[in-house]
Amino acid sequence: MALRLPTQLATRGTFHHHHNNNSKSTTTAALSWRRTLSPDTPLIHSSTSLTTKKSYVQQMVTCSASGSTQAVNLAPGTPVRPTSILVVGSTGTLGRQIVRRALDEGYDVRCLVRPRPAPADFLRDWGATVVNADLSKPETIPATLVGIHTIIDCATGRPEEPIKTVDWEGKVALIQCAKAMGIQKYVFFSIHNCDKHPEVPLMEIKYCTEKFLQDSGLPHITIRLCGFMQGLIGQYAVPILEEKSVWGTDAPTRIAYMDTQDIARLTFIALRNEKVNGKLLTFAGPRAWTTQEVIALCERLAGQDANVTAVPVTILRFTRQLTRFFRVDK
């Protein structure tokens, strides 16, 4: 039987926090978002925007934060410099641009990086401090937050990982640790229109995380993104130059791609603007492009025709429906 996202996603977390008058209060945050999914909701989604390197097969996603994890706010404590930031996901397409921009603007940058065979030496070469931790192992997180004022969260899970491991469970742990340790601001990158596509696991989890962050009481900014311009280079420009095939569809969907350097620049403008605290922002490029328009642009710049393997949207939809019957429930 085909799997679907649950129609109700619930998270529950208990936060104990100290106020400036040293009184102690307890807040229980319970989140519940109901969705009505259509009977023919497709169960496979292959993204061509923010997740160009991932193809997600629909799986049962139950977003629930364990109520046994209690966050005790230790603030007020030792003051930290407003320029001290932690970048999570600092080796990614967006994360490395956030790090570079922050260093150029004079921030003290600490990068949370998973232990890996190939160290992220380029971050150290730029002038950042690198600390090892793993969002899938919550016990490794607190030490990375000591002395940090602001967290900028660019992280997402690896293609081979279960989607919930980093993008939900890891983010819940990070937000709870940030709340407990008195982090002053949390910047979270989400996906444009994630609230409108509960049938897509990553988008559903992004929306759940937005709500969890909002209800945590942590000072934050949520930034929704459309797509990365850099992703088009490997997907279309390079294959066309090398006379290799590229995939195209007749879908009318338009994506307002942005250069990640511009996203980084706007992020720090927002970070310095106190009026956007707690706000939901959307960053988008000046023009939205269809797949056909992107290919035509690359052809014009390359001075040669592309070898396009066209796949009608109707076939993609039929394939999604067909492959639902080959999924094995676990």
Q: Residue 65 has what pLDDT?
A: 56
Residue closest to 266 by CA, chosen among 243, 285, 253 = 285
Q: What is the pLDDT of residue 275?
A: 95
Q: Kindly tell me the sign of the dihedral angle through the C-alpha atoms of 116, 49, 309, 326.
A: positive
Q: Does residue 6 have a cis bond before it (omega within 30 degrees)?
A: no
Residue with tokens 């160009």: 52
Query: With the CA atoms of 174, 284, 208 and 324 taken in that order, what torsion angle do they form, in degrees rounded to the nearest 10?
Result: -120
**Residue 29: partners with Cβ closer than 8 Å, 6 or more residues away:** 11, 12, 13, 14, 15, 212, 215, 216, 217
Chain length of the chain: 330
How far apart are alpha carbons 43 and 197 in whole angstroms?
12
pLDDT value, residue 99:
98
Sheet order of strands, 150-153 included: 129-132, 108-113, 84-88, 150-153, 185-191, 220-225, 280-283
293, 257 contact by CB (below 8 A): no
**Domains recognised in the chain with CATH numbers:** 84-225+258-285 (3.40.50.720), 227-253+290-325 (no CATH)
Dihedral in degrees, nearest 10, Cα atoms 107, 108, 112, 113: 90
DSSP string, 96-157: HHHHHHHHHTT-EEEEEE---SS--HHHHHHT-EEEE--TTSGGGSHHHHTT-SEEEE----
The burial of 32, by beta-carbon neighbours within 10 Å (0-12 exposed, 13-18 middle, 19 or more buried), is given as exposed
Q: What is the pLDDT of residue 312?
A: 66
Q: pLDDT per position in the chain (330 positions), as tens?
A: 333 333 333 333 333 333 333 333 333 333 333 333 333 333 223 333 443 334 333 444 555 555 433 444 545 566 889 999 999 999 999 999 999 999 999 999 999 999 887 778 999 999 999 999 999 999 999 999 999 999 999 999 888 888 899 999 999 999 999 999 999 999 999 999 999 989 889 999 999 999 999 999 999 999 999 989 888 888 888 888 888 888 777 777 888 999 999 999 999 999 999 999 999 999 999 998 888 888 888 888 888 888 888 766 554 454 444 333 333 333
Pairwise CA distance, residues 103 & 29, whole Å: 36
- Quick one: tokens of 234? 């490997």
CB 98 within 8 A of CB 90: yes
Place of tokens 């459309």: 226
For 10, the token pair is 């619930």
